[in-house]
């Protein structure tokens, strides 16, 4: 697990890269809005899990959540920066791939399973309809995958599919997390694993509140 110092250094490096980037071009490729005032701080507006975030790129980079102005955790700050820095403008492929098919996915596969797929299966494997209801609360839409499949768009160019197979007397429930093939041009494997975990833990939080 990354230490706080590692997160701080990762955010520092990403902030440094953002400050020297062509922000208008980044916003165009990421399909997000940008405000460039004549005076003041350039602000990039990024919807993240349906909530607007502002990325202010001045002498230092600040990231603010607009709905409740709560503190943005460092992993989310890093992910938003990486999304802006790596966006390619590549259109969705309409082709689903597994995490192992992502470049370097094999290297992070065990962490991906522990962080995202395993807790998803443990929480919803025997409650597919409950998963459907929780997914709808997070903006998920029905998808043709598994016995119950839902697709989420946590960021403008990113689609994540969660699929459950109910199982029976012979076979236990099964789960899978799939991605539109364009994701490999938008985020590195480690960021995809982190984002998948963020999605699953948001769903688990909804489940606990029910």
pTM: 0.93
Q: Exposed/middle/buried for 45, CB within 10 Å: 0-12, 13-18, 19+?
A: middle
What are the φ/ψ torsions at residue 142 (nearest 5 degrees)? -60, 140
Q: Where are the domains of the chain?
A: 4-86, 96-209
145 CB-side CA count, 13 A? 24
pLDDT band, very low/low/confident/very high, at 2 (cuts 50, 70, 90): low
Kindly tell me the burial class for residue 112, based on how many C-beta atoms sit within 10 Å of its own C-beta (0-12, 13-18, 19 or more). buried
Taking the domain 96-209, which CATH number applies? 3.30.310
Q: How confident is the model over 185-206, as pLDDT tens digits?
A: 999 999 999 999 999 999 999 9
Which tens digits make up the pLDDT trace of 55-114?
Answer: 999 999 999 998 887 889 999 999 999 999 999 988 888 899 999 999 999 999 999 999
């Amino acid at each position: 697990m990354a230490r706080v110092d590692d997160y701080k250094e990762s955010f520092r490096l990403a902030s440094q890269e953002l400050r020297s980037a062509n922000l208008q071009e980044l916003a165009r490729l990421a399909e997000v809005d940008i405000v460039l005032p004549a005076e003041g701080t350039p602000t990039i507006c990024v919807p993240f899990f349906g909530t607007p975030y502002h990325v202010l790129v001045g002498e230092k980079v600040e990231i603010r959540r607009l709905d409740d102005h709560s503190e943005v955790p460092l992993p989310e700050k890093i992910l938003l920066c990486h999304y802006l820095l790596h966006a390619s403008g590549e259109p969705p492929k309409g082709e689903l791939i597994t995490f192992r098919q992502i470049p370097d996915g094999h290297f992070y596969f065990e962490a991906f399973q522990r962080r995202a797929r395993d807790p998803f299966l443990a929480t919803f494997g025997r409650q597919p309809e409950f998963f459907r209801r929780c997914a709808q609360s997070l903006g998920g839409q029905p998808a043709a995958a598994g016995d119950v499949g839902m697709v989420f768009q946590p960021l403008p160019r990113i689609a994540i599919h969660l699929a459950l197979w109910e199982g029976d007397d012979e076979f236990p429930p099964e789960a899978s997390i799939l991605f539109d093939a364009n994701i490999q041009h938008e985020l590195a494997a480690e960021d995809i694993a982190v984002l998948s975990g963020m999605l699953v833990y948001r769903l688990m939080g909804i489940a606990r509140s029910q």
